[in-house]
Amino acid sequence: MDIQWICVVTIILTWFCTGSSIHQTSVDPPHNLQIIDPGLLGYLYIEWHPPSSLPVLDQCTIRYKLKYRSTGDADWKVVFTKKLKYGDGFDLSKTTEAKVQTLLEGRCTNASEIQSDWAHATFQVPSPGELESQIRDFHCVYYNWEQLTCTWQVGQRVPPGACYEFYYWYEGLECAVQCEDYIQTHGRNAGCHLRNLRQAEYLDFNVCVNGSSEATRLRPSYFTFRLQNLVKPSPPEKLSVSIAADKEVHVAWSPPGGGVPPNCLDYEVQLAEDDGYADATWVFASTQMETAFTFSQSNRSHVSCVRVRGKTNMFCADKGFWSEWTQECFYVSRKDEKQLFLLITVVLSSLSVFIILILAARCKKKSKKGGSGQCDE
């Protein structure tokens, strides 16, 4: 009996040791890699299936390494995932490239990572119409964080009667939406106004401008951007300027009204120095979120104009547009002009008093001669 148990234990140990010494040394790549266009103006899905043969998954972890880019991009975007699907935005005017490989690690590989070969796929949207029929000079501005305005010029070769249409999509919309407020030039759509886009902020905003005519189709144009990077705020408000006894110029203002968060604005202040009414020389100064600034005037006695503008800062956006300058231009008179003004004021005041005294004397003299209580000039 003891001999039988010894045999059984020996067989089990031999099987275990033999089995544990056999490790996975290779793994198949994913198969059926596809790039799918769901009609969301550049947002594509990259999908694949697991490898045809896999080890026992309770002994190994399987992941996938995905790389993708648009043709012409220098670098690949890289994603590690356990899922079989990934989505991102692409420029549909270019070819999209994607490749994925299997990564295997765990007991079945003796804790080392095994990589498969790459599976490859490409995707290109058909481009109907001539290249010269595409729109030109596409430009968008998100005014005061409230209204997106996009404009464009018609293509170089566009047949009469051609019409352009503007579509947009961002994550959260079920499908692409057409513009409802077009800007028209010479009877053609040349721009679009969009409002109520708060839900689209800090998301990829995908745009397609396409068109057609009775003669031919026009080539579509695709764009992807983020609204916070297109903000142009309104000018600062309530600008005030004061001059201290030491000739320092103190400038203060308030953030503009509207949708731009005050903590998202940096400012630039300009002070113009004008020597003898010659061309003004502007002195620049930048501030970070502060709404006041002081220029040292210890060695200056020039006529100065002060103005301020704002721009979204690095804490809220990667880039943006400067606002217009404040409309007010505060001038500080030169010292000699102030003295001349005071002298003229004193002389005019003295002359007025002198004239009043003369008139009073004449009135009194006539009153004595005529006995009348009235004084005629």
pLDDT greater at residue 212 or residue 237: 237
pLDDT digits 0-9 by tens, 29-38: 999 999 999 9
166 pLDDT higher than 70? yes
Tokens representing 286 are: 């930048």
The pLDDT of residue 334 = 47
Tell me the sheet residues that pair with 120: 99
Q: Highest mean pLDDT: which of 144-153, 203-212, 346-355?
A: 144-153
Q: Which two tokens stand for residue 319?
A: 């880039």
pLDDT bracket for residue 69 (50, 70, 90): very high
Is the CA virtual torsion 247, 248, 254, 260 positive or negative? Answer: positive
Q: Of 320, 198, 311, give the one whose Cα is nearest residue 255.
A: 311
Q: What is the mean pLDDT of residues 45-62?
A: 83
Q: Measured between alpha carbons, how far is 356 from 358 in angstroms, rounded to an integer? A: 6
Which domains are seen in the chain, by residue range? 23-123 (2.60.40.10), 131-231 (2.60.40.10), 234-336 (2.60.40.10)
87-98 average pLDDT score: 92
pLDDT tops 80 at residue 41: yes
Q: Taking the model in full, what pTM does it have?
A: 0.73
pLDDT, mean over the chain: 81
Distance of CA 254 to CAs 38, 284, 293, Å?
46, 19, 12
How far apart (Å, rounded) are the C-alpha atoms in residues 267 and 250? 15
Structure tokens at 31: 């198969």
- Most confidently predicted of 71-75, 128-132, 202-206: 202-206
Please write the tens of the pLDDT for every residue from 238-279: 888 877 766 778 888 899 988 999 999 999 988 876 654 445
Confidence at residue 288, expressed as pLDDT on a 0 to 100 scale: 74
The confidence score (pLDDT) of residue 20 equals 45
Are the beta carbons of 208 and 167 closer than 8 angstroms? yes
pLDDT at 176 exceeding the cut of 50: yes
Is pLDDT larger for residue 353 or for residue 174? Answer: 174
